[in-house]
Structure 1
Amino acid sequence: MEVSRRLKVAPEAVRTWRRRFLDRGLDGLPDEPRPGVPRQITDADVERGIVKTLEEKPANPTHWSTRSMAAATGMSQSAISRIWRTSALAPHRCETFKLSTDPLFIDKVRDVVGLYLDPPEKALVLCLDEKSQIQALDRSQPVLPIMPGVPERRSHDYVRAGTTNLFAALEVATGKVIGSLHRRHRAAGFRNFLTKLDKEVPADLDVHLILHNYATHKTPAIKKWLLAHPRFHLHFTPTGSSWLNLVERWFGELTSKKLRRGVHRSVQALERDIRTWLADWNEHPRPFVWTKTADEILDKVAAYCQRISDSRH
């Protein structure tokens, strides 16, 4: 019992090893052969499967499947599946990416990320964008509700009832959102939204707006408005880098939890649902916390560029 307590093992295990030592001496201490079928896939086979997956393509399809890799290597389909699973390989999956070609990419990343991680005092940081052409869609047939063992089902076709556009400004510190709906997609809508922000943001605060590098954000009318409202400061994300604007995360929440599975027979019903969603969100806002530094982002982009350069050789 003293050995069991000191080694923190079960007394039965201590008795088993003591008995094996008394019967066979040191020869009784190594593990005995375990039951089961002997291993048929060697380490060399595993390495061969991984290397072939990473460095070769099949003759006709665009990517390997477990069946085609099994045929090419002479191993079983289940063995290939286990090798891929333990090596975190998934040839059937493919994700997209886009690298910005903005010549001021580095400066803009440092500017925007600096506002996220170290916002200025006596100022409000807002992420602003427009979600345009939001469609009011009505399904051609009634939606079948969820049942045990059966998910909710809806017809793949729909009837369009019109569109609306949503300007939204996400307050980085609190997660609150200021929104405005309008039917027409025009440049004047952005100026009207700026006026709305000017009325709702306390007058003693500067306003730093993070927004995309669209031409409508730089028109003469906008420049004139900004000169008349010097507390507003515009910070542009790099071209093709919408991921840097946190309001896109909020648009994703709106889309997945309200719009994608919504049924709206009119634009009025669609706008009513969006306003309700916005009001509910602002009752219990949840900020999206930015954690990556500018250096971490730029290092990752540099690594992508290096991989692209290497893949061309």
Structure 2
Amino acid sequence: MSELVTVGGVAVARAAVAIELSEADRVELERQVRAGGTPQRQVLRALIVLLAADGNSNAAIAAELGICVDTARKWRARFVAKGAVGLVDAPRSGRPPVYTATDRARVTAWACSLPVDHDVPLSRWSTTELARQLLTDGVAVSVSTVRRWLAGDALKPWQYQSWIFVRDPDFETKAARVLDLYARSWQGRALGADEYVICADEKPSIQARDRCHPTVPAGPRQSMRVNHDYRRGGALTYLAAYDVHRAPVFGRCEQSTGIDPFTRLVDQVMSVEPYASAARVFWIVDNGSSHRGQAAIDRLAQRYPNAVMVHTPVHASWLNQVEIYFSIVQRKVLTPNDFPDLAAVEQRLATFEERYRAAASPFNWRYTATDLRRQLSRVDDHETAIADRLAA
């Protein structure tokens, strides 16, 4: 098998490079040809080698595949020299980088700093502001490039989270008491069958917003529509007491918060069974003015000797399970707010209580005192890390 090659204007016959395929190489090349996901350029190169191995000349291969002879000769020789690896494109240098590693590091440094620390009148960075800041450093970077760099480093400086440092020196002790009650334990002893745990709180400033146009119900490919304009119909406070282990809810509406409204909620619960004759009823409350401090504890004990008030730590209302019920009320009853007057709000809340009690079950509370200790340990580590970073 030979081919004609022009040398100095004279056609010279030259033997084509012979190819002998191993069984494994042939199987692999045929697989590449058949596979639907193989790039077409790779399929062409595999066909060139297979036809060459069957004894075809470069000219015959070129005619068969509709390519030039030089292409057939190139990939034939590449396979002989390097095997199957020779059929893969060699790595290319590509376009020279526009930005240096220092430019990218500068973006990261700005994103990981607070604007106010550099006398920049911003509360947080955006991609646009970062690109503008880099321009003052003499680096012209597009907003899309800044966004891509930040995404590569999983940085989102425009987002923020807030937190509260633990201020109560007895935070763990107070929180652990609440968590132990949820686990039906008090001062190391299991609660009896005639002992109950109640979570109570107030949800103030519930408005009656009378929409200027009727609310339109949902339809095909259309969500419910609520008019933006409304007339204010006043506001009320919703007080609720939630039995942690039995799930009934006792609620009432008042004009405002205060000792007297909260006392009426307590009377509403403690005047009915099983709480009226219970051995003990634990009332878990936060540090709101209606039930704050030792005075509130004494006031409750004097009114109901079998009632024990337990306060959550300061800034720990999340430990009070009635807040979960309030979130349900907010989502299912009060949003969107469309009530003609406060009487309609009160009626809706009372009716929802009945509906909730009919199907309610205790919340699946799984946060324990052990989880609390683990979390407080992480908080301590976080505070230490911040202090070390500020001192550096």
Give TM class, smaller chain.
Answer: 0.7 to 0.9
Which residue of the partner structure matches residue 7 of structure 1?
Answer: none
Task: Provide TM-score, normalisation by structure 1.
Answer: 0.78
Partner Cα separation in structure 2 for residue 257 and residue 186 of structure 1: 26
In the TM superposition, what whole-angstrom CA distance separates every residue of 1:25-80 from its partner, at most 9, and x where no partner exists? 57818975579975846766544432321135263333222122234154332232
Q: String of CA shifts for 1:213-271, please: whole Å, max 9, x gaps.
A: 23432586862441453432221111222222222222122113321312111111001
- Say whether 1:284 aligns with 2:359: yes
Moved more, 188-197 or 49-58: 49-58
- Between structure 1 and structure 2, the one with the greater Rg is 2
Question: Alpha carbons of 1:224 and 1:247: their partners in 2 closer, same or farther (altered >3 Å)?
Answer: closer
RMSD: 3.8
Q: 2:191 aligns with which of 121, 125, 135?
A: 121
Amino acid at match of 1:250: Y
- TM-score, reference length from structure 2: 0.64
Is 126-135 or 166-175 further displaced after alignment?
A: 166-175
Indicate how the Cα distance of structure 1 residues 298 and 56 shifts in structure 2: closer, same or farther if over 3 A, else same: closer
Q: 1:297 aligns with which of 375, 381, 387?
A: 375
Range 41-50 or range 83-92, more displaced: 41-50
Residue 210 (structure 2) pairs with residue 210 (structure 1): no
Specify the alignment match of 1:78 in structure 2: 144
Residue segments in structure 1 that go unaligned for 5+ positions in a row: 4-10
Q: Which residue is 2:301 aligned to? A: 226
> In the alignment, is residue 182 of structure 1 matched against residue 257 of structure 2?
no
| Paired letter, 1:271 | E
The aligned runs of 1:12-23 (5 Å cut-off) are 12=32, 23=80
User: Does the CA contact (< 8 Å) of 2:301 and 2:307 recur in 1?
Assistant: yes
Q: Does 1:271 align with 2:341?
A: no
Superposition map of 1:79-228 within 5 A: 79-117=145-183, 119=185, 120-122=190-192, 123-143=195-215, 152-198=224-270, 199-202=272-275, 203-204=277-278, 206-217=280-291, 218=293, 223-227=298-302
Q: From the superposition, tell whether residues 205 and 178 of structure 1 become closer, same or farther in structure 2 (CA, over 3 Å).
A: farther
Q: What is the one-letter code of the residue matched to 1:201?
A: P
Q: Distance in 2 between matches of 1:226 and 1:30?
A: 88
The DSSP-based 3-state class of the residue aligned with 1:295 is helix
Closer/same/farther in 2, CA of residues 265 and 231 from structure 1, 3 Å limit: same
Please give the alpha-carbon distance, in whole angstroms, between the structure 1 residues aligned to 2:332 and 2:252.
19
For the residues of structure 2 that align with 1:30 and 1:208, how far apart are their CA atoms? 78
Distance 2:222 2:102 in 1: 45
Q: Which residue is equivalent to 2:9?
A: none
User: Deviation of residue 157 (structure 1)?
Assistant: 4.2
Kept in 2, the 8 Å contact 1:124–1:208? The answer is yes
Q: Which has the higher contact order (CA 8 A, sep 6+)?
A: 1
The change in CA–CA distance for 1:311 and 1:23 in structure 2 (over 3 A counts) is same
Q: Is the 8 A contact 2:278 2:306 kept in 1?
A: no
How far apart are the structure 2 equivalents of 1:296 and 1:83? 35
Q: Quick one: structure 1 residues 307 and 242, their matched pair in 2 at CA, closer, same or farther if it must change by over 3 Å? A: farther
Q: Is the 8 A contact 1:117 1:290 kept in 2?
A: no
The answer for the alignment partner of 1:245 in structure 2 is 320
| Percent of residue pairs identical | 24
Measured after TM superposition, the shift of residue 102 of structure 1 is: 2.5
